[in-house]
Structures are given as C-alpha cells and as structure tokens.
A and B are shown apart, each in its own frame.
Chain A
Amino acid sequence: MTLAADALRTTTHPAAHALASEGLNTHAGALPARRPGPTNSEPKAVRIAIITVALLFLGLFIALPLISVFYEAFKRGWLAYVAALVEPDALAAIRLTLLVAGISVVANVTFGLVAAWAIAKFEFPGKSLLITLIDLPFSVSPVVAGLVYVLLFGSQGLFAAYLQAWDIKIIFALPGIVLATLFVTFPFVARELIPLMQEQGTAEEEAAASLGASGLSIFFRVTLPNVKWALLYGVLLCNARAMGEFGAVSVVSGHIRGLTNTMPLHIEILYNEYQFVASFAVASLLALLALVTLIAKTLLEARLVEDAQ
C-alpha cells in the first residue's frame, strides 16, 4: 500500500504543487531562455551529468514504483486482477472512497469559494487568522488530525455523552471518515482561489453592479467564470487527496471490513494478509487516479495562465 499512497501523495502534496507552478513560470518566461544563459555556459559533460541524475532520481522514486504497482497487480493475469476488484469488500471500499471524496469535493468547493471570496473581496477583522487557519492542515500530521476527532467524538471523548444520548455515531463510521478527510483536504480549493481572486480585485464586480446585476447574478456571471479553471484545478487536487488519504482516516475508521474501509485502508489490510495481487490491484486504481490527475492538471495549467491574464 505504501507504494501507491506515496506515489499519489507526490502528485498531490503542496510541495509538488509549488514545483508545478514554478514550472509554469519558467514556461511563461520561455523567451529569454533562448539567449545564451548561464546554463549554456556549463561544460557539456556537467550538463549531461545533471540531467542524468535528475532522470535517474525520477525513474527510481516515481516511475519505478508506479510500474511495479501495475506489475504486481497483473502478476497472476487479468482474471485475478478483476476478481480482486469485484470482491464485495473491495467494492465496498471503492464505493466508500467515492462517496467520501464526493462529499469532500462538494464541501470544499463551497467552503473554498466562500472563504476565498470573503478574503479576496472584503476587509474584515480576523482575516489573517483565517488565512493561517486554512493552511493549518498542511502543517499538521494527518494522524494528529484523526486523533483530535477521536478525542472530540470518540466513546471517551468530549461530546461522548451528547452523541450517545442522540444515538449519533461519528467515530468508526462514515461521519468520522468524512470529517477527517475534510480536514486534510480543505486548503486545496481555497488556496487555489485566494491569490487569483485577490489579483483580479473587485473592479469587474463593481462594473456588474453598476449595470444592474444582483449579487447572485454577479457571482454566477462574473466572479465564478473568472476563476473556473482554478476552481477545477483545486477540485482535482482535493479529489486526489481525498481518495488517497490514509493517516487521518485510518485513525477514525476502525477498519471494519465492507463498512468503514476506504481503498487505502483496504489495500493495507490485504497487504498485511499477504494477498499481494489483490492488494496491488486495488492500489493500481489509486495509481491510475494519480496519473489521470497528473494529465488533467497539465492540461489545466495552460488554462490557468489564461485566467490570470
């Protein structure tokens, strides 16, 4: 499992994201690169050595694990692969993962839009605190996040009495998994939107208002279309992370087979039971998701440049 989850995390982690946007910048400034710059003055051998090291590194730590996931998954042929995926516990895990990711995406789009809109278009006290809070999940270990929810909603937790009285189950149930996933994914959409909205300012909204548009009209006709690609980009990252999240979900899920196991948890259980083919078959789905995300992300980046103009 670790292989797949790590491969996935590399593509969705904020650091990777930062790298990606750096790549974007260098791309935008492609023109000056034609001039004889410092890189061209390096001796050829040094250049080749540097490129080789970079490629080797990429191959060793990213391509190779990815390939080995698929290799292991198909080791016993197609039939074993498909059998591992249609097995009831695996199907339940896939369903649960899709459900949790769906809820997270919807919730984060809503929250991200509202927060970015408030931060970018208005001045209010506590604004910088809100920005810091949005970044919190990036700096807290997911396991800690999961533990916090256990402390709050678990059977010994702060709200245990109320939850029991109302017969609400959060920990070891769907709500807990959703909460934990929401926590780790909530910066993705907001972080994409805030800088773009801040840069775009409020001029177009004011123009729309002076032309007689209502608040809702302004939002749907002006604000939203202006950030649509960034929003989609955020959704993509948020979705990939929601599906791949392991640590926080592992703490609150209780690992009940067919009930509270998401795909990453299911993969781990299979792996620990030495069912390698089944384990890697499910892992291959996550790896596939990572690849799709990566491609969609690349396609979107061109559009993002358009938005910013």
Chain B
Amino acid sequence: MSIDIVNVTKRFKTFTALDNVSLRIPGGQLVALLGPSGSGKTTLLRIIAGLDWPDGGEVRFDGQDALARSVRERNVGFVFQHYALFRHMSVFENVAFGLRVRKGADKLPDAAIREKVNQLLSLVQIDWLADRYPAQLSGGQRQRVALARALAISPRILLLDEPFGALDAKVRKELRRWLRNLHEELPVTSVLVTHDQEEALELADTVVVMGKGRIEQVGSPQEVYDTPATAFVHDFIGESLSLPARVADGALYVGARRTALDTQGLGEGPARLLARPHDVDFAEPGTAPVAGRVLAVRTFGPTTRADIVLPGTNGDVVVEAAVPVGARLAVGSEVGLVPRRYRVFPAA
C-alpha cells in the first residue's frame, strides 16, 4: 500500500513540528526516517497512523484519503517508541488483543486466534514467554512482543518508532537483519524511525532525512551518503569534517587563507566546506589549503584518527581526519590538509 503525504503541517500551539512536509512512499518499501531528536519523526508517524491530525495537508493510502478514517479504521500496525504494552495482560493476550476486539463478520473463533497468536510468537521467537507479563520481560523481548502485537492485525502499513532504541548493539544488529527478512516476506509498507544512521543505511530502501520539521533529503542510502543535498544532511549522515569558509572574488577562502579549491558554483558570501574524514589527505603545511596543529591521535582497531586544531577567523576549529595506514603523526606538530572530495554549501 503506497503512502502519500502532501504538504502536511502540524503545529503545537505556536511551535511548528512539521512544516509543509511532502513525501511519497511506494508500496512494499521500507523507508527510514532519520533525524536528530525533536525533528518531527514521531509526529509524522503519528499523523500517518491517525493518532494525530495535521493542521493542513493530506495523507493518502493507495490514493485514498486516510484523514477521513480514524485510527482504528486505518489498519496500521504501530510499534511505539516506548512499547506501550498492555501491562495487565500476558504476552499472549497482548498479541491477541487486535483479534479479540474485532466485531461482527471479522471476528475469529477462539481456536483461530490461538493459532495465529502462537504463529506470531514463534515468528518473533518468544513463544516460550507467552504467559509472562510485560514487567517480567527484557527490553528486547518487549520489543518483539510489540512487533508481534502490531503484526497480528495483518497491517498493510507498519510504522516502527525507534523499535531498537533501547537495545544493545549486538541484539540490535540481529533484530535489524530479522526485520529486513520479515519485511521481504510480508506484503507490507514500512516506515521506520531511527536515530541511528547505520541502522537506516543498512535497513532501508529509501532514507528520509528530517531536520527541524522539514524533509532535507530523500534518497537511497548511497545517494544520501555520497551526494548530500544540504550541509545539514552532510553533517548528520556519516562523519564530517566541517570548516567555515567564504567565497570572494571567485575563490574559496578557508579562514584567512585563499585556496585553490573549487567554489562549486557558489556565489559570494559565507560558506561551509564539508568533507568525509577519509577523503582528506595530509600534506606539507606550507602548500596545503588548510593547515593546523595535531591535538590528539586516536587508534581504534584498523583506523587511526587525528584531531587537528585549525585557526579560524572566529576562534579555533577542531576537525577530525583519518590518518592513512603507516603514516606517523606527532602530537603538537603542524600539518596541512588537502580535501580530495568535498562539498561547499552556503553557510546557514
């Protein structure tokens, strides 16, 4: 089922949580909403589910107006940021809830409910916990119950609000792979909210980067990483080395130094130079466009990173650069930096 979000705006009193957001999610895709805390991810998800109503704009499922339907009529599976399991019900009854509240022709006989719930519980690998109560479960187990409960209503749309937020890195990875497989098997369109860019890049067909109630970029994980549309996206996705810069008389100035770097068609005015740490080479301080002093060197597994202080026009800037294997950098020494690949954006 495809989801169309058209010019959706949502205000809380005077605060604009969503500012004219438009997004098309084709049926069957797994889309990740990525953005810093407070950027409006949960708000957008709640509007798709029907738990909140927008102040303006449209939401369509398969082209049909979804705003005309209440949350209970939308048949959307929602996995909440804080699980929201029914505390007085066993795991089994939590999962069975969506089937038990059905009325009329949709009502299933008890045996059928039992069978379906047991299937779901084994699908999320917690059938042995059926009689426990939510308070007796670990975070990862609760997460699986929440997922099974949402899947019980055979939703065509699955909304997951930071489903793996409370888990440690290892369990996270395992559940992530599992979710990806599950998504492949079910006829469902999924929207996954996450803070974790690695998760988004690994799981999703499409990544939507949000910042301050707006969509900054929509694209495949590769596009978002390689060709960020804005400085915000460059900064937020992956690691960035960010330098204040300025375009004047056709050249790019970094600090007070005029460089031979390409302005990338940017007009006169303040700018920002962004590069990935591994796209920056070390060079002799005299010849390089940027120079600074080594503050610290850190080695972690196969990678070595150096913090370098650059004298800026408005105080010093510390950047992080990848040190090539075999190279030796002394703390306190002067080094030059040459960005091999970089992007120039107007300064915000």
Contact = CB atoms under 8 A, between A and B. Distances in A.
Contacts of A39: none
Contact of B101 (A203, A217, A226, A309): A217
Residues of A in contact with B, size category: 10 to 19
Contact of B76 (A210, A214, A225, A226): A210
A37 interface: no
B84 A207 contact: yes
A161 to B, nearest CB: 48
Interface in B269-328: none
B103 to A, nearest CB: 8
A18 interface: no
Contacts of A210: 49-51, 71-72, 74, 76-78, 150
Interface in B63-96: 70-78, 80, 82, 84-88
A75 interface: no
B51 A211 contact: no
Contacts of A208: 86, 97, 101
**For this complex, into which size category does the number of interface residues on chain B fall?**
20 to 34
B331 to A, nearest CB: 47
A212 interface: yes
Given A210-B71, A212-B72, A203 B84 contact: yes
A308 to B, nearest CB: 10
Contacts, number: 66
A309 B135 contact: yes
A226 B134 CA distance: 13
Given A209-B71, A213-B101, A203 B87 contact: no
A226 B88 contact: yes
A206 B51 contact: yes
B167 interface: no
Contacts of A225: 88
A151 interface: no
B86 A207 contact: yes
A226 B78 CA distance: 21
Nearest to B46: A206
B107 to A, nearest CB: 11
B113 to A, nearest CB: 13
Contact of B80 (A203, A213, A214, A217): A203
A88 to B, nearest CB: 47
A226 B87 contact: yes
Contacts of B73: 212
Nearest to A209: B71
A204 interface: yes
B136 to A, nearest CB: 11
B149 interface: yes
Contacts of A212: 72-73, 75, 98, 101-102, 153
Interface in B126-157: 135, 149-150, 152-153
A237 B56 CA distance: 49
A222 interface: yes
B132 to A, nearest CB: 14
Contacts of A213: 72, 97, 101
Interface string A190-227: 00000000000001101111111110010001100110
A247 to B, nearest CB: 39
Contact of A204 (B49, B51, B87, B98): B87
A46 B281 CA distance: 76
A228 to B, nearest CB: 8
Interface string A267-309: 0000000000000000000000000000000000000000001
Interface of B: 49-51, 70-78, 80, 82, 84-88, 97-98, 100-103, 135, 149-150, 152-153
21 contacts: A204-B84, A204-B87, A206-B51, A206-B71, A206-B80, A206-B84, A207-B80, A211-B72, A211-B97, A211-B153, A212-B98, A212-B101, A212-B153, A213-B97, A214-B101, A214-B103, A221-B97, A221-B100, A221-B101, A222-B86, A226-B88
Interface of A: 203-204, 206-214, 217, 221-222, 225-226, 309
